[in-house]
Amino acid sequence: MTDIAVFDRFDKAAAEEGKRPPPADFTESIRRLSALIDLLPQRPVIQDHHAERWLNRTIEMAIQRMEIEKGEGKAELADVHSHVLWHVRRASAIGGSEVGEVVLHFRGERGIFSNAKNLVLEKLLIMSPQPGDEAMTRGVIAEPYIQMMYLEAMDAVSDEASLDLLKGFRWAGAPQIVGTPDDIVLYREGNRKIIDYKCPSAAVNEEYEKKGGVSFGYVCQVHQYGILSRQSGVEFSGMDVACFDPRSFKIVSYKIDYDPELEEEMLEKTAILWNDYVMKAVIPEVPAPDPLDVEDEEFKELVMQATTLKMIEDEVGKRKAEVLGRISAVGTEELDLRAGKIDLEFASFERKRSWDEEQLVNMAESIGLDITEYSKVQKKFNAAEGEDMLKQIFEACAASPEALNQLVADMAEAGLPLERKLDVDALASRLEEEGVAVINAAGISEKFAVSRAKKNLAKVEFVRGEAMELVDQIEVVVEENTERLLNFTPNNDDDPEMEMM
């Protein structure tokens, strides 16, 4: 076991750093944090270039993180320094959110959010902390509000004195673990509980609801807080994970039953990971995903069925296109350029007038019409004109402040450049008024659609039901022929290329 004195020396320096005034600049921040990194218990096996790179990356990550938490442009150096300090302290041991991964590793199982290999890489400062995903960001921002809702609902208060006692606490019997719970709550009855607040998605809340409990990682997390609470002298009567459920906008609490065997396993496995891996710079191997059993008969049958159904899908698509083509061909012969809608209640076939825009423009210009009169302003921004405006701004900026001011004033008066669309119907009508024959520019666009009207719902659903029955029959045929298709062996004697050899 690593000497507790090494941990105590680091903890003392970290506590003192936390009380110091914020650094004046990043240079001072890096110097102070580097000095603290040099006191990490595992520092003798951390390579210098890893430590330097880790600190630089963690500062970059902290800047991004603070921008999210504090608001864009509101993050200050003090916030960034404090956040990186938290990560340096976290590198000195295995935290509550990490212990579940350690237990799963030594059980020969894959981790939930991380794994033992990455944990060791992080403690050796080879891997820097990740910025955090959407779920993590949501949890950080929401936690104080969830706490407020929980305390109000339970008519309880936070035991700030106990929380202060746990901050920075390290147990000599297991110096490899640290952690402070989100809350230690005092209830009116006088009992005290360890509470961890979570903000899972609606889907995860539904999963917890179905199985009646939270994930294994959270169970381990609150157990670790329980260990440290007892050893620090904080007594408690239970442990809960309080989840905010966005479906009901309520807090749902899940009781975590105390498991002495799990607690013993946690202490044993974290000690092994810390002493035999982190302190010796040994990277553990993690369980790899099980290979796909390609010889599994059920797997083969399902792949064959999917293949056959895909081919049927492709063929049905071709047949549908052919039928629509025949409808169009009938329309071409009988309807010529006439527009209209054939409504069969369950479906419709619509023919709309379309125009060759280029031909209309050429006709208009040939008789001297101004086509800009027939251009409608759209709501969409004109990217090409916008790009040209930017180029003009840069050129004016390089020329002189006066030129820039004048250009911006002119642009403001002209307004935002928006796209324009030619009203071809109006232009065609105007050309006809001018005596121009527009027939050569006329075309037809066709559209086939299943009816969505309520009055036709019964008929549509009847046709849909008949179609589904046909699909069911197709699926049955595919399943019945799966074995035959799987066992089919091509006869090379029938191959034309083979016959030519």
What is residue 501's predicted lDDT score, i.e. its pLDDT? 34
- Interval 399-454: pLDDT, tens: 888 888 888 888 888 777 777 778 878 888 888 888 888 777 777 677 777 778 78
Question: What is the mean predicted confidence (pLDDT) over 165-188?
Answer: 93
Instruction: Please work out, in degrees rounded to the nearest 5, the angle formed at the alpha carbon of residue 90 by the alpha carbons of 89 and 95.
Output: 140
The answer to whether residue 388 scores a pLDDT higher than 50 is yes
**DSSP output for 110-167:** --SSS-HHHHHHHHTTSSPPP---HHHHHHHHHHHHHHHHHHHHHT-EE-HHHHHHHT
Name residues whose C-beta falls within 8 Å of residue 78's C-beta, 6 or more positions apart in sequence. 22, 23
The answer to whether residue 16 scores a pLDDT higher than 60 is yes
CA 91 to chain centre: 26
Name residues whose C-beta falls within 8 Å of residue 144's C-beta, 6 or more positions apart in sequence. none
Report the chain's mean pLDDT, rounded to a whole number: 85
Q: pLDDT higher for 453 or 29?
A: 29
Q: E strands of 288-385, at which residues?
A: 340-343, 347-355, 375-381
Integer Cα distance of 153 and 242 in angstroms = 12
Q: What's the Cα-to-Cα distance from 183 to each of 137, 194, 214, 344, rounded to whole Å?
A: 19, 6, 18, 66
Domains and CATH numbers, the chain: 1-92 (no CATH), 132-287 (3.90.320.10), 298-382+417-486 (no CATH)
Answer yes or no: are the C-beta atoms of 286 and 250 closer than 8 Å.
Answer: no
| Helix 401-414 / helix 383-399 crossing angle, nearest 10 deg | 160
Which stretch, 76-80, 134-138, 333-337, has highest mean pLDDT?
76-80
| Helix 116-123 / helix 99-106 crossing angle, nearest 10 deg | 130
Integer Cα distance of 215 and 222 in angstroms = 11
Q: Which of 27-41, 420-434, 465-479 has the lowest mean pLDDT?
A: 420-434
- Interval 233-272: pLDDT, tens: 999 999 999 999 988 889 999 999 999 999 999 999 999 9
Nearest to 123 by CA among 85, 92, 157, 80: 92
Is the whole model's pTM more than 0.85, yes or no?
no
3-state secondary structure of 436: coil
What is residue 328's predicted lDDT score, i.e. its pLDDT? 67
CA distance from start to end of the chain: 76
Tokens 């910025």, located at residue: 131
What is residue 333's predicted lDDT score, i.e. its pLDDT? 46
The answer to whether residue 334 scores a pLDDT higher than 50 is no
Question: What is the mean predicted confidence (pLDDT) over 199-219?
Answer: 92
Can you list the pairs that 209-218 forms with residues at least 24 positions away whose Cβ atoms lie under 8 Å?
209/252, 212/254, 213/254, 214/241, 214/243, 214/254, 214/256, 215/100, 215/112, 216/100, 216/103, 216/104, 216/112, 217/97, 217/100, 217/101, 217/112, 217/113, 218/100, 218/256
What is residue 492's predicted lDDT score, i.e. its pLDDT? 61
Q: What's the Cα-to-Cα distance from 416 to each of 85, 376, 383, 385, rounded to whole Å?
A: 48, 15, 11, 9
Question: What is the mean predicted confidence (pLDDT) over 470-482?
Answer: 89
What is residue 396's predicted lDDT score, i.e. its pLDDT? 82
3-state secondary structure of 246: coil
Q: Which two tokens stand for residue 81?
A: 């320094």
